[in-house]
Amino acid sequence: MPRLRSGFTTGACAAAAAKAATLALLHGQLPDQVEIPFPDGNRHSFSLHRCTVQDGTALASVIKDAGDDPDVTNGAEIIALVSLQELGDAVAIRAGEGVGTVTKPGLAIPVGEPAINPVPRQMIRAAVTEALQEIGKEQRHLTVTISIPNGTQLAEKTLNRRLGIVGGLSVLGTTGIVRPISAAAWTATIDASLQVARAAGLQEVLLSTGRTSEAAAQKLLNLPEEAQVMMGDYLEHALKAAKQQGFRRIHLAGMWAKVLKCALQIPQTHVRHGALEMQQAAALLADLGLDENNAATFATANTAREILQNLQKQGRADLVQAVCLRAKQYAEQCSGLSVKLYLVSSEDGILASI
């Protein structure tokens, strides 16, 4: 299998565009490529998509390449506008079109500020300072405005609105590098969601494996929006993080395959990391009371869904409930909190709760 290709974060692209725009504004130089420092001390080069100067403002942009990561901003144009100002911060960072604003407490950026995270801000300032040094200019008071055309539309495909980021995307990144299908991106979103929920004063949270599970549980619970946390496949991380954030109770919603993996104490429920062996599932069901002949048949099932269908055909709601109980017990053991578990199906909503 070919190795997946890494890419650059939105923050790194913004920093590169900011350096190019600074060079264009103060040196009359219109580069087609710039190199910038990264937080780990390495340096990387970026090709410029646009670089122009007009009416005392320079514009430069980079097309984001997220590598092989399925990032919604892959291919987006990241723009930096740089202009001189008389007073204020040496490098003031502003949000332009398509970059959101923080409206809820609990995130790394205060309420009312542009949704440009701390490391991207550091990278932008470092890149602009380096540009000034390269052309022999003293520190100037500059305003850097970051824009992402279509950012408002792209943000609809993210969890930004739930986190309280309105009007566009977040400019993110902690290393400048996007790792393909990064666990760090998922777990960071889980952590941020939990922080927002706690900052809102909530004592309980709804962890769900997907939108179908979340919608079914929320229909019953009607919790505040901030309480809804999409954990995806990162079961153990989400459970432990909820404990660390000081919640008192967890509502845990998932479909059968995920609940079964939870009952089997598989901490990361994606098929790549916690392949659900049918033999394991059959052994669990035997332990819970399924007779040996039936267990042997279940061991040859193609999918977890087939196991559930067979249990339903045999009228073994007791075994379905027993699997849910095992899953609940593992979640409570992992988190140290009280857990209410909801088994969901896309056709029938909540099948069981315990």
CATH at 130: 3.30.2110.10
21: containing domain = 7-178
* pLDDT score for 184: 75
* pLDDT score for 182: 63
* pLDDT score for 162: 86
Count of structural domains within the chain: 2
On whether both 30 and 171 belong to a single domain, the answer is yes
At residue 59, does pLDDT exceed 70?
A: yes
Rounded to whole angstroms, the Cα distance separating 121 from 116 reads: 7
263: in domain: yes
122: in domain: yes
* pLDDT score for 33: 97
At residue 81, does pLDDT exceed 80?
A: yes
On whether both 330 and 243 belong to a single domain, the answer is yes
Q: What is the pLDDT of residues 97-106, one digit of tens each?
A: 999 999 999 8
Look up the pTM and report it. Answer: 0.72
From 152, 178, 204, the end of a domain falls on 178
On whether both 224 and 348 belong to a single domain, the answer is yes
331: in domain: yes
From 178, 206, 237, the end of a domain falls on 178
Q: 345-354 long-range contacts, Cβ below 8 Å, gap at least 24?
A: 345/255, 345/256, 346/212, 346/255, 349/216, 349/219, 350/216, 350/217, 350/220, 351/256, 351/320, 352/317, 352/320, 352/321, 352/324, 353/324, 354/321, 354/324, 354/325, 354/328
* pLDDT score for 270: 56
Reduced to 3 states (helix: H, G, I; strand: E, B; else coil), residue 117 is: coil
Longest Cα–Cα distance in the chain = 82
On whether both 62 and 169 belong to a single domain, the answer is yes
Rounded to whole angstroms, the Cα distance separating 267 from 270 reads: 9
On whether both 192 and 238 belong to a single domain, the answer is yes
On whether both 58 and 167 belong to a single domain, the answer is yes
1: in domain: no
Mean pLDDT on 222-247: 95
On whether both 144 and 207 belong to a single domain, the answer is no
Angstrom distances, CA of residue 288 to CA of 307, 316, 353: 14, 11, 17
2: in domain: no
Residue pair 131/19 in contact (Cβ under 8 Å)? The answer is yes
* pLDDT score for 217: 96
On whether both 20 and 149 belong to a single domain, the answer is yes
On whether both 265 and 171 belong to a single domain, the answer is no
On whether both 154 and 280 belong to a single domain, the answer is no
Rounded to whole angstroms, the Cα distance separating 24 from 314 reads: 73
Reduced to 3 states (helix: H, G, I; strand: E, B; else coil), residue 82 is: strand
